[in-house]
Chain A
Amino acid sequence: QQPVQSPQAVILREGEDAVINCSSSKALYSVHWYRQKHGEAPIFLMILLKGGEQKGHDKISASFNEKKQQSSLYLTASQLSYSGTYFCGTVLMDSNYQLIWGAGTKLIIKP
């Protein structure tokens, strides 16, 4: 039931764009995105809820395709500070609202 994240890793030049995907084989209630820098705690980016509600930072863009049980995180005009590992967490419709995390996508931004 663990969501699948893709790609596993990506290397970008500063200013380039990236898309990180998160998919589930089961119906989703919500998708959560967090970023973790090496040696630091994860920080919240965004929550996307079934029905279209979103909670998050204005500079972060993401989508949630309820029919495909997929979410994508869009990082545009990447900055060095975007480097880190991005985790998606999913809450299934038929679960007791437990958050299950993907394996993470490692993003490296080079100057």
Chain B
Amino acid sequence: KAGVTQTPRYLIKTRGQQVTLSCSPISGHRSVSWYQQTPGQGLQFLFEYFSETQRNKGNFPGRFSGRQFSNSRSEMNVSTLELGDSALYLCASAEGTGSYNEQFFGPGTRLTVL
């Protein structure tokens, strides 16, 4: 099976712009979780989608949103980008929910906000 894929791998944006990141889970996986990783804050949970429904949401402002399609692919959108949004954004897929199942991580999208 192919692993989790994320596109694009690298992205440079300027403050105020918006960005959409994409995640394709492993075939058959219905859960997709998104994480923000920064050197200072570690791994921060953004949200989890399961069968097109948002199951959980972390403590991030409303500028961060996501959705999941019927084929389990997921997108994450960040509007009105701020310098502090610069980070590695990881998505992870699982057969069941990520709360009690092994998660498979993608390589991440490195977002730089200038």
Contact = CB atoms under 8 A, between A and B. Distances in A.
Contacts of B56: 96-98
A104 B102 contact: no
A43 interface: yes
27 contacts: A29-B99, A29-B100, A30-B100, A32-B103, A40-B107, A41-B4, A44-B103, A44-B104, A47-B101, A87-B42, A87-B43, A89-B43, A91-B99, A96-B55, A96-B56, A97-B56, A97-B97, A97-B99, A97-B100, A98-B58, A99-B33, A99-B99, A101-B35, A101-B42, A102-B42, A103-B42, A104-B42
A interface SS class: strand
Given A47-B101, A47-B102, 13 more contacts: A29-B100, A32-B103, A41-B105, A87-B42, A97-B55, A97-B97, A98-B99, A99-B45, A99-B98, A100-B45, A101-B35, A101-B44, A103-B42
A32 B105 CA distance: 14
Would you list the 4 A-B pairs with minimal beta carbon distance, nearest first? A41-B105, A97-B99, A101-B43, A44-B102
Nearest to B90: A41
Interface residues of B, number: 25
Given A30-B99, A97-B56, A43 B105 contact: yes
A47 B92 CA distance: 15
B25 interface: no
Interface of B: 4, 33, 35, 42-45, 48, 55-56, 58, 90, 92, 97-108
